[in-house]
Amino acid sequence: MKIEKISVKNYRLLKDFSMDFEDELSLVVGKNNTGKTSILTVMNKFLNSSNQMKFSFDDFNVNLKNISRN
């Protein structure tokens, strides 16, 4: 399996994010609190078949939580 692109909406710090992967190597760099760990975590949740890696309400973007509670 080869992942070429990911798109994420309303997951932690990632409101509307997409990333194309290179053939050999892709790096994720950025300042603190910009979503680097969120990218890896969401990919792990989709690719890992373990029941321990389920999504929870706290995984979703704060703005989305506020809309769903109104």
Alpha-carbon distance 29 to 5, whole Å? 17
pTM: 0.69
Residue 6, by phi and psi: left (phi above 0), alpha (psi -120 to 50) or beta?
beta
What's the pLDDT at 45? 84
For residue 49, is pLDDT > 90?
no
68 has a pLDDT exceeding 70? no
